Structure 1
Amino acid sequence: MVLYVYAITAASPSYDLDGLEGVGPGSSPPRTVAAGPVAAVVGDVSEEVRPARRDLLAHQAVQERLMAAGAVLPLRFGHLAPDEDTVREALEAGAEAYLSALERLRDCAEFHVRATQDDEEPLLRRALDEVPGVRDLDARIRAGDPDPRLPLALGELVTRQVQAWQQTTADALVRALEPFARDRVVQEPTGRDFLNLSLLVPDDRADALLETREELDRELGDGAALRFSGPLPPYSFVG
């Protein structure tokens, strides 16, 4: 039997964990293990935890309950410790840093922002209309120029131009959104995304952020759209 560790909180006031299910097979309901001014929320688990949907939801439910009651340092899914003594030792060793982080996150939540290129056609048309090199290569190909290098050159030039426009848009979005946040983390976008941004937003700024989101979404154009998630536990701002 090992411990599944959900989060770190202040030891006082205590958090209501009644009715919450534990993560993993043979799990116990979440409980706290305190060491001085800080505590960890843990539960017993009988074997290795896998990210099954039921367990992911149980993990998230604990984080949301804790976040609704006060500042929390949420741990990502799957964090294990061998026993309570090990947890207490870690809490004692890091108490000052944990308290500082909890204070920084107090009355805040994470909002996750993605800018996604749902439709590339508007940017491709824009490149043909606005970029001389693209127009010239496209005209040569349409005129029957047999040079086999032309399609590749055209594709590379269009890709570079689209990426440049997207980076400019992403930078502008960050500048527009960061005044609402206490902190921000820009991560590498994937897939059709060209912005992957996490914001640590004070509770009293959340409504204004969402209002600005609607304005930015209307202005974005070029086949792009904003995706907002939140309020969420502040995973990106722990540590």
Structure 2
Amino acid sequence: MTMSLYIYAITGSGHPLRLTGLRAVGGGSGAPRAVTAGPLACVVSPAPPELRPKRRDLAAHQEVQERLMTDGAVLPMRFGMLAPDDAAVTAALDDGRAEYVRRLEELRATTEFNLKAARSQDDLLREVLTESGEARRLNERTRDGGGSYADRVALGELVARQLDARQRLLAEQVVGRLSEMARDTVVASPAGDDFLNASFLVEQGRAEEFSRAAGQLAQGYGEGYDFRLRGPLPPYSFVA
């Protein structure tokens, strides 16, 4: 029975492919290797019998991609992608050849930075109540259980709209300032208390400059804000 393959990344067949010493996802005996098809190569290893996102396997997945990134453009695959055999990998590379070659050229000498940001909800609420006369009036009316049910509903709806609008504006301001230093930008839906989840495709030669600028931007917003920058990363967000 042919063992299925775990997929790490697609790159050019002329890529150095320094895979020696790298761990495979699943910890099996088969080391990462390349399957080539014309101008493209796909880095694979034997797929483990049970694939789960364990910490060691996530680390192995990223280590292979980071090694490849140091030597050239890479299309990193998300954790968990499989193929039945070499023939299926070769067929996929042939079918998508033009698109893969185009994307590799676009990603040449680039890296990804991801920025997430949150703001203290108490701090934001104080701002709303300070700057919105209507919100302040409704808040005073409903304080200590006063006011009508309609007043409380109106206050809740008004504050929710204000919070959403202000956080959207904050996100646009941050993205606008950092996008000037990026080749491309992808904005995803933020989760939890975050108002921002954005990924920036940055030329490798500007990586330190971008990281420094993001840090200075965060300091400029001051207390009440929480900025988290990750990178350099494989350009996951810019593969599709």
Q: TM-score range by the shorter chain?
A: over 0.9
| 1:222 shift after superposition | 6.6
**2:169 match:** 168
Supply the distance in 1 between the matched residues of 2:116 and 2:104 (Cα, whole angstroms).
26
| 1:176 shift after superposition | 0.2
Supply the distance in 1 between the matched residues of 2:210 and 2:27 (Cα, whole angstroms).
40
1:84-233 correspondence runs (5 A): 84-117=86-119, 119-142=120-143, 145-221=146-222, 223-233=224-234
Supply the distance in 2 between the matched residues of 1:105 and 1:213 (Cα, whole angstroms).
21
Q: What CA RMSD, in Å, does the superposition of the two structures yield over aligned residues? A: 1.6
Residue pair 1:107, 1:202 contacting (<8 A) in 2 also: yes
What TM-score results when the alignment is normalised by the length of structure 2? 0.94
Supply the distance in 2 between the matched residues of 1:238 and 1:23 (Cα, whole angstroms).
21
Residue pair 2:171, 2:195 contacting (<8 A) in 1 also: yes
Residue pair 1:200, 1:237 contacting (<8 A) in 2 also: yes
Supply the distance in 1 between the matched residues of 2:207 and 2:105 (Cα, whole angstroms).
18
Write the deviation string for residues 41-93 of structure 1: whole angstroms up to 9, x where unpaired.
00012424111111111101101101111110000000000000110111112
Supply the distance in 1 between the matched residues of 2:25 and 2:199 (Cα, whole angstroms).
26
| 1:156 shift after superposition | 2.1
| 1:146 shift after superposition | 4.3
| 1:155 shift after superposition | 2.2
Residue pair 2:25, 2:48 contacting (<8 A) in 1 also: no
Supply the distance in 1 between the matched residues of 2:223 and 2:21 (Cα, whole angstroms).
47
Q: 1:25 to 1:205 in 2, by over 3 A?
A: closer
1:204 partner letter? G
**Deviation >6 Å, runs of 4+:** none
Write the deviation string for residues 118-137 of structure 1: whole angstroms up to 9, x where unpaired.
x2222111111110111111
1:15-34 correspondence runs (5 A): 15-24=17-26, 26=28, 28-34=30-36
How many percent of aligned residue pairs carry the same amino acid?
48
| 1:141 shift after superposition | 1.6
Count residues with an aligned counterpart. 238
Q: 1:94 to 1:116 in 2, by over 3 A?
A: same
Supply the distance in 2 between the matched residues of 1:157 and 1:222 (Cα, whole angstroms).
25
Supply the distance in 2 between the matched residues of 1:144 and 1:193 (Cα, whole angstroms).
30
